[in-house]
Amino acid sequence: MSGDLKWNKIMGACLGTAFAILVVQQVSSAVYHTKAPEKMGYFVDAPDEAAAGAEVVLPIDWGTVLPVADVAAGQAAFARCVACHTVNAGGATGTGPNLHGVVGGPVMHAAGFAYSDAMAKHKAEAPTWNYDELDHFLTAPGRYVPGTKMSFAGIRDEQTRINLIAYLRSEGSAGFAIPAPDPARQPGAAAPAEGEAAPAAEGDAAAAPAEGAAAEAAPAAEAAPAA
């Protein structure tokens, strides 16, 4: 009988302890409970800094920049290309094709040069090295034509590219016409009204070479100039 009483006391103590723990939990929950808001936080409509600060880059107005380009500076810029390219008429094809007459000439013109599959694909999309095509390619060859053999990192400075293209044009591509300046880009030109497109430049030679230029067109620029 005394044994049963002992176990009853033990069980009673355990139940009392469990009950005390439950009471403490309930009291603590009531004291420290924080009511959840109906809406979690609030929305702040802040414009994207990158989008807000994005600068609109207009296409180069070749009719304005080429006539005043520094051809001598372009020749100096070409010094980084001579490890792989020649530019004189009848020059040898090396790591890269000869570039005589490249401006306005067809892509993949150099006979016997092993162009990349990437350049062949690009030719199907843009068959001529017009001013814009050359500018985009010279800016970052591997990014503009992914898979090209040309390992040259590119020329980030716009004026250097303009001077280089002016020099390349002087080497066998003088027949490739320079387009007329864009009237809307000239000093003092009135800005177009909202929703109104700016007038197109006349004589846009970027679309097609001048008559007789095909005969002068020479190899396309690929391969790997020295940085």
Helix, coil or strand: residue 106: strand
Q: What is the pLDDT of residue 210?
A: 38
pLDDT tens, residue by residue, 69-104: 999 999 999 999 999 999 999 888 889 998 999 999
Would you kindly state where each structural domain of the chain is located, as residue ranges? 65-182+205-216
Helix, coil or strand: residue 183: helix
**What percent of the chain has a predicted confidence (pLDDT) above 90?**
47
Instruction: Give the residue-averaged pLDDT of 120-140.
Output: 96
Adjacent-strand bridge partners of 128:
106
Decide if 226 contacts 80 (C-beta within 8 A): yes
pLDDT tens, residue by residue, 15-46: 667 666 766 566 555 555 555 555 444 343 44
Q: What is the pLDDT of residue 101?
A: 92
Q: What is the pLDDT of residue 148?
A: 93
Q: Which residue has the tokens 């139940």?
A: 15
Give the CA dihedral 156, 158, 160, 163, nearest 10 degrees. Answer: 150
* Domain at 65-182+205-216, CATH from 3.30.70.260, 3.30.360.10, 1.10.760.10, 3.90.1570.10: 1.10.760.10
Q: Which two tokens stand for residue 194?
A: 């909202």
